[in-house]
Amino acid sequence: DAGITQSPRHKVTETGTPVTLRCHQTENHRYMYWYRQDPGHGLRLIHYSYGVKDTDKGEVSDGYSVSRSKTEDFLLTLESATSSQTSVYFCAISERTGNTEAFFGQGTRLTVV
């Protein structure tokens, strides 16, 4: 398995609170991604990073921000969590753009109550 660690693996938080999810990789891959997975929607891209301090928005970025201060870490922050952000969040990494072989982490199950 690719060296990707997501933390925490499970979290329950209250509406309106900030939440930060962490993705840590040991593969030294340049590209990192955050997806969310919801029933009936498959996986949808939230944000991605193409290098340290280089990030951009994906398909469903509203309500989320990211930061990448080191190659190995990509943080996803929910500024003020809402119930619609209850989901399973996956981090992924890849060596290059257009690289179909992205490696995914184990996921973080977030519940906003």
Partner 1 sequence: GESVGLHLPTLSVQEGDNSIINCAYSNSASDYFIWYKQESGKGPQFIIDIRSNMDKRQGQRVTVLLNKTVKHLSLQIAATQPGDSAVYFCAEIVGAGSYQLTFGKGTKLSVIP
Q: List contacts with partner 1 (CB under 8 A).
A: 4, 31, 33, 40-45, 48, 50, 56, 58-59, 90, 92, 97-98, 100-107
Task: Give the type of residue at 17.
Answer: T
Write the CA distances from 66 to 14, 60, 100, 101, integer angstroms. 20, 13, 23, 23
CB 23 → partner 1: shortest distance, Å?
Answer: 11
Which amino acid makes up residue 36? R
Which residue, 15 or 28, has its beta carbon nearer to partner 1? Answer: 28
Q: Which is nearer to partner 1, 17 or 93 (CB)?
A: 93
Please, what is the minimum distance in Å from the beta carbon of residue 25 to partner 1? Answer: 13
Tell me which residue has tokens 């994906």: 58
Q: What's the min distance (Å) between Cβ of 42 and partner 1?
A: 4
Our CB check for partner 1 shows the closer of 42 and 83 to be: 42
Give whichever of 2 and 75 is closer to partner 1, judged by the CB atom. Answer: 2
Q: Give the integer Cα–Cα distance in Å for 103 and 38.
A: 19
Torsional sign, CA 70, 90, 5, 102? negative
**Cα-flanking dihedrals φ and ψ of residue 17, to 5°?**
-90, 150
